[in-house]
Amino acid sequence: MAEITLKSLAHSYLANPASPEDYAIREMNHVWHQGGAYALLGPSGCGKSTLLNIISGLLEPSSGDVLFDGERVNSLPPEARNIAQVFQFPVIYDTMTVYDNLAFPLRNVKTPEARVRERVMEVADVLELTGQLRRKAKNLTADEKQKVSMGRGLVRDDVSAILFDEPLTVIDPQLKWKLRRKLKEIHQRFNLTMVYVTHDQLEASTFADKIAVMYEGQVVQFGTPRELFERPNHTFVGYFIGSPGMNFLEVSTRDDRVMAGETPIAVGTRLREAVAGARSRNVKLGIRPEFIEVSGEPVEGGMEAAVEHAQDLGTYSILYLRLGEYAVKARIEEDQDPPEGRAYLRFPDNHVGLYVDEYRVETNHE
């Protein structure tokens, strides 16, 4: 297994890229450490598959370097890079048995048969394929085929990394959960470097210790699921992580007050000074629905909002509110009755993030 470094990496599918929008990967620096369980999370089209294909060697980057343990591998073909890749749809040989399919990557590199057997049995055991080993792959269900495909990715223990490109898309939802846990177990047992691509935050956080969130060809944050939740580094991470995502209000200062349009926003002095001192017109305050304090009665420092709708989700409710011109969502727990008509909101300063030009700016109160 190797440490994978991406150095000043950029890629455009166009012959003569002119602007940042022409790049599927905008210049980035990133390190995947040896032995890590990582997720690459982002919406469709943000560049996830492009990045994986650059790492595995299926695609040569327009500029920058890919280093494995410090060695530049840009010009090495995929087979020389020792990367295992598992795709969205099963890549298996239908006419071979499950055993032979799993053995294939090992036999390909001339592994002794005794070792082949050992590894195939081990991987089949983890993926619960032992009972299927003698069956021809063409007779398997779609789920089973994808398990075999994953097994083929996992069977070699000498690879630099295993890259998973949305491997559970075709899998039945109930089995999905189980397989994600399995992958995590395999990671711990075999000490592999794994990069798991997905657009699903739940999938990313159940599998990975650290998540790289991609947006418009860039990794905008690389952190633990908790860090992404508590301190989103970029407004996109705030929107994308959490359910519902973070609330953002465009703000400015007027007469020594923080205003979202025509609505004063009650925040502490430091945050107000930071908003006033921001050198941009693109200034936002972000607060997660979980951290808004909601009261049915007027409270000191409470901002009056209209309650538009309450969505009961069993153990909690999501309140859809209107604060001046802004739609705001707040989460309240089951022990609190959702207010009707009017609500009074407080934004605790330690849970409010300041975003200038979409990136988080630290203020002293934090």
277 part of the interface to ligand ATP, by CB under 6 A: no
- HSE-up of residue 127 (Cα within 13 Å, Cβ side): 27
Whole-Å CA distances, 205 to 85, 101, 213: 20, 30, 11
Task: Name the one range near ligand ATP by CB under 6 A: 44-52, 106-114, 148-156, 230-238.
Answer: 44-52
Task: Name the one range near ligand ATP by CB under 6 A: 29-37, 42-50, 77-85, 338-346.
Answer: 42-50
To ligand ATP, the closest distance from the beta carbon of 20 in angstroms equals 12
To ligand ATP, the closest distance from the beta carbon of 81 in angstroms equals 19
Distance (Å, whole) CA 260 – CA 325: 8
Task: Name the one range near ligand ATP by CB under 6 A: 45-53, 140-148, 169-177, 357-365.
Answer: 45-53
Q: Which of 8, 21, 33, 45 binds ligand ATP (CB under 6 A)?
A: 45
Give the number of residues in contact with ligand ATP, rule: CB under 6 A: 11
49 part of the interface to ligand ATP, by CB under 6 A: yes
Q: Could you write out the three-class secondary structure of the chain?
A: CCCEEEEEEEECCCCCCCCHHHCCEEEEEEEECCCCEEEEECCCCCCHHHHHHHHHCCCCCCEEEEEECCEECCCCCHHHHCEEEECCCCCCCCCCEHHHHHHHHHHHCCCCHHHHHHHHHHHHHHCCCHHHCCCEHHHCCHHHHHHHHHHHHHCCCCCCEEEEECCCCCCCHHHHHHHHHHHHHHHHHHCCCEEEEECCHHHHHHHCCEEEEEECCEEEEEECHHHHHHCCCEHHHHHHCCCCCCEEEECEEECCEEEECCEECCCCHHHHHHHHHCCCCCEEEEECHHHCEEECCCCCCCEEEEEEEEEECCCEEEEEEEECCEEEEEEEECCCCCCCCEEEEECCHHHCEEEECCEEECCCCC
Q: Which of 4, 26, 38, 48 binds ligand ATP (CB under 6 A)?
A: 48
To ligand ATP, the closest distance from the beta carbon of 167 in angstroms equals 13
Q: Which is nearer to ligand ATP, 44 or 315 (CB)?
A: 44
To ligand ATP, the closest distance from the beta carbon of 200 in angstroms equals 11
Q: Which is nearer to ligand ATP, 15 or 114 (CB)?
A: 15
Q: Which is nearer to ligand ATP, 50 or 132 (CB)?
A: 50
Segment 102 to 121, residues that bind ligand ATP, using CB under 6 A: none
Distance (Å, whole) CA 216 – CA 207: 23
Q: Which is nearer to ligand ATP, 222 or 355 (CB)?
A: 222
Q: Which of 4, 24, 183, 310 binds ligand ATP (CB under 6 A)?
A: 24
Q: Which of 10, 36, 42, 144 binds ligand ATP (CB under 6 A)?
A: 42
Task: Name the one range near ligand ATP by CB under 6 A: 47-55, 275-283, 291-299, 333-341.
Answer: 47-55
Give the chain's length. 366
Q: Which is nearer to ligand ATP, 180 or 284 (CB)?
A: 180
Q: Which of 2, 4, 26, 50 binds ligand ATP (CB under 6 A)?
A: 50
Task: Name the one range near ligand ATP by CB under 6 A: 41-49, 124-132, 232-240, 345-353.
Answer: 41-49
Whole-Å CA distances, 37 to 20, 124, 164, 196, 337: 30, 21, 11, 8, 41
62 part of the interface to ligand ATP, by CB under 6 A: no
Segment 1 to 20, residues that bind ligand ATP, using CB under 6 A: 13
To ligand ATP, the closest distance from the beta carbon of 206 in angstroms equals 19
Q: Which is nearer to ligand ATP, 241 or 345 (CB)?
A: 241
- Binding positions for ligand ATP, rule: CB under 6 A: 13, 24, 42, 44-50, 199
